[in-house]
Amino acid sequence: MLGALLSARLTSSLRSEAEKRAGQLPESLRAQFIDDSTAAAQNYSPPTPPGGLNPATTSLYERVTADTFATGFVIAMQTAFVACAVVLVAAALLCFLFSPHKKSTTEPTGRQGKTAPQD
């Protein structure tokens, strides 16, 4: 369940972050960058730059994709950690509510005050 939550949240957050950061790239790469970043969620790694780019554009693309992936992954992990914390707190509360109550530890009434004779 946690993996499905992480995957869904990662896809969503990567798309959102890619749309925010696409303006840093040349206009011809923006749509491909958004699509590649969204698809990268399936591989849990940043997308590789497309071929045929000059070194400066390749470096920019790599930096923007790394930043996008790192931010998107952190957002997705925050959601997963909050979900884990909620489940843990709920489980602890249920354990507390349904735990058996301790019985009193006093002695039975028949033995109080009597001692065994000593030889």
Sequence length of the chain is 119
Q: How confident is the model at residue 6 (pLDDT cuts 50, 70, 90)?
A: confident
Residue 11 lies in a domain: yes
**Does residue 111 fall inside a structural domain?**
no
In a domain, 60, yes or no: yes
For residue range 13-45, list pLDDT tens digits in order: 889 999 999 999 999 999 999 998 888 878 778
113: tokens are: 């005050």
CB under 8 Å, gap of 24 or more: what pairs does 28-32 form? 29/53, 29/57, 29/61
pTM for the structure as a whole:
0.67
At 92 the pLDDT is 92
Q: Quick one: tokens of 73?
A: 């992954």
Section 81-107 average pLDDT: 83
Residue range 68-92: mean pLDDT, rounded: 91
Examine residue 26 and state whether it is found in any structural domain, yes or no.
yes
Domain membership of residue 95 (yes or no) is no
Confidence of residue 105 (pLDDT cuts 50, 70, 90): low
The residue segments making up the domain with residue 16 are 2-90
- Is 40 contained in some domain? yes
> Residue 101 domain-assigned?
no
Q: For the chain, how many structural domains are there in total?
A: 1
Q: Is residue 96 part of a domain?
A: no
Average pLDDT value over all residues in the chain:
84
